[in-house]
Amino acid sequence: MPAVDVQDWVIRNAGARPWDRDDIDARIVADTIEGRGAIIDSEAQVGGFPDHRKTRRPFDEAEWDLRYMIPKGQLPLEGTPEFSSSPTADTSTGG
């Protein structure tokens, strides 16, 4: 991508969900477009932390790999016995 196209691409694609930006993402994109960026020293300068609704649900042991305390289906972390950064294919015979 040519350097002149980078800013436009980032503005179109920035954020967790560019097609559904929340107020904070929209403000950041607008500030970027209009060149209003500045160093933020405190969250109070940009409206403070959002007040999220609390959620809770019961712990379901069946959903977790209790050896590593990760959700089932998630890959083991580096350093756990199942983690291997080496290839699994046998390339010693040329095949």
Count of structural domains within the chain: 1
- 25 domain-assigned: yes
Q: Is residue 16 over pLDDT 60?
A: yes
- 86 domain-assigned: no
Question: What whole-number distance in Å separates Cα of residue 8 and Cα of residue 4?
Answer: 8
- 27 domain-assigned: yes
3-state class of 51 per DSSP?
coil
With tokens 């042991």, the residue in question is 61
The answer to whether residues 57 and 35 touch, using CB atoms and an 8 Å cutoff, is no
pLDDT at residue 76 in the model? 67
Q: Is residue 20 over pLDDT 70?
A: yes
- 52 domain-assigned: no
The sign of the dihedral angle between the CA atoms of 75, 80, 86, 87 is negative
- 68 domain-assigned: no
pLDDT at residue 25 in the model? 87
Q: Is residue 14 over pLDDT 60?
A: yes
- 59 domain-assigned: no
Structural domain of 24: 3-38
pLDDT at residue 37 in the model? 78
Name the pLDDT band for 95 (thresholds 50, 70, 90). Answer: very low
Question: Two tokens at 68?
Answer: 């590593």
pLDDT tens readout for residues 32-88: 889 887 888 998 988 888 888 888 989 999 999 888 888 888 776 666 555 555 445
Question: What whole-number distance in Å separates Cα of residue 57 and Cα of residue 51?
Answer: 19
